[in-house]
Chains A and B, each alone.
Chain A
Amino acid sequence: MELSVINDDHVEILLSDLLEQYGYDFTGYSKASLKRRIARLYSLDRAVSFAEFRYKINNDSLYFKRFVEQITVNVTEMFRDPSFFKTLRDVVLPKLGTYPFIRIWLAGCSTGEEAYSISIILKELNLLHKSLIYATDLNPIVLEKAAQGMFGMNSMKQYSENYILSGGLKDFSSYYTANYSLAKFDDELKSKIIFSTHNLVSDYSFNEFQLILCRNVLIYFDRELQQKVLNLFDESLEELGYLALGSKETINFSGITDKYKRLDSEKIWRKIER
């Protein structure tokens, strides 16, 4: 792939178009990754010129949707980082299980693999009936996929290994039925998941939660936007609630860090004061 077909000026032009035309603000995203994604789409769709590419994004609402889906990274897995999910299972969720009701926000849920993973753990801990998972993403297309609860059969071996490493005790295949190349997960698992659009850049807090998970989303934001989003999470998290980030993400540089205490070894912080 030739990266130089899209230069920094092109990126700036497209970002200001998106903001003016559609109200989507990507200006706080890390530029190198965004530029790669845009260049990738540009060559994938065989755009003839930057002007034509830009015109299509601005005037064809279907293509705009494709553009947003393609420039955001939607790669995700079930039980990715098994040790993280083991800590959820052994430490965090049992603690929250003492509450009458558990509200969880999974921010940037993409195609939903993590939402179903959490649902499986809640079910095994006998907590699913009193839990609600709000799974949000800025992108309606990935949410539609998430709501279907169907994932590629070719990923099941890996997911099953992850599940076992994360402390899962059942036969992983008991959670889905194979349908040609797709694994359809039990409807019970999504009965407590609400899939909804929410844009971390522009939308506000919408509830109070005891657990907020946002893994491998902040890496795409610059420091300023990371700070803003961490403030949003802080506003949305109850005292003694938990905040979970991706394995390379941290709250250490941010203004909220004094209110939080990190759990050993995983990127999970507990809010110890208001």
Chain B
Amino acid sequence: MKKCEAFIIGGSAGSLDVLLKILPLINAAIKFPIVIVIHRKHGTDSLLPDLLSSRTKLKVKEVDEKEPISAGTIYIAPSDYHLLIEQDRTFSLDYSEKINYSRPAIDVTFQTAAEVYKEKLACLLLSGSNSDGVNGLKSVKLWGGTALIQDPKTAQVAYMPAQAQANVKIDSVLSIEDIAEFINLLS
């Protein structure tokens, strides 16, 4: 792919373990932002940024609405809002209907990012039990970006990456061990 300007990871059931494994291996000098959209229960406390922060030297933060997106930062989608990316490369949030029974929906972030970053975007879909993210990966391909999935064989719940594999032309199928290396090589 051309110079990567954004790397977005979507996941559901079984994806947190993968993130905890790969984050320590990601080079702290990466030159693009990483955005993480995972399905989780809506609660008042946000333990996820702290949990992920303990595994990496990169700055980890939950997205604030209208926040400019900076390289070298890991952003987490807040629970119970859709996360969108604007043309001016800021985040916005949206409390519209759930999509694929999910809010945040991975599709929404993948699709809006696809139009902004075009061929300079890579999106990775991890383990999960519904088909959220599949349409998003289609958009990523349509706009010239790179579509990646966790190897369904290595996923705790194979359904989500397997659905993507069946419906989208995937650029690379990555084992858990390969994911961090793939990300580091994009820098």
Contact = CB atoms under 8 A, between A and B. Distances in A.
Interface of A: 1-4, 8, 30-33, 36-37, 73, 75, 81, 83, 216, 219-220, 222-223, 226, 246, 248-250
A44 to B, nearest CB: 12
Contact of B96 (A73, A222, A246): A73
A8 B94 CA distance: 18
A1 B97 CA distance: 14
Residue among B82, B96, B142 with the highest chain A CB neighbour number at 10 A: B96
Given A75-B97, A248-B78, A36 B66 contact: no
Contact of A216 (B85, B92, B95): B95
Contacts of A73: 94-96
B117 to A, nearest CB: 13
A14 to B, nearest CB: 16
A33 B84 contact: yes
Contacts of A30: 66, 84, 86, 92, 94
Contacts of B66: 30, 222-223, 226
Nearest to A76: B95
Given A75-B95, A219-B94, A31 B86 contact: yes
Interface size class of B (residues with CB under 8 A): 20 to 34
Contacts of A1: 135
A3 B139 CA distance: 8
A249 B115 contact: no
Contacts of B17: none
A36 B95 contact: no
A35 B81 CA distance: 17
A163 B21 CA distance: 39
B87 A31 contact: yes
Interface of B: 44, 64-66, 78, 81-82, 84-87, 92-97, 108, 111-112, 115, 135, 139, 142-143
A248 B81 contact: yes
Contact of A249 (B65, B82, B85, B142): B65
Contacts of B111: 3, 36
- Residue from the set A32, A36, A83, A216 with the largest chain B CB neighbour count within 10 Å: A32
14 contacts: A1-B135, A4-B143, A30-B84, A31-B86, A32-B84, A33-B96, A36-B108, A36-B111, A36-B112, A219-B65, A219-B94, A219-B95, A220-B94, A248-B64
Contact of A83 (B44, B92, B97, B143): B44
Contacts of A216: 95
A223 B115 CA distance: 22
Given A73-B95, A219-B92, A248-B81, A32 B65 contact: no
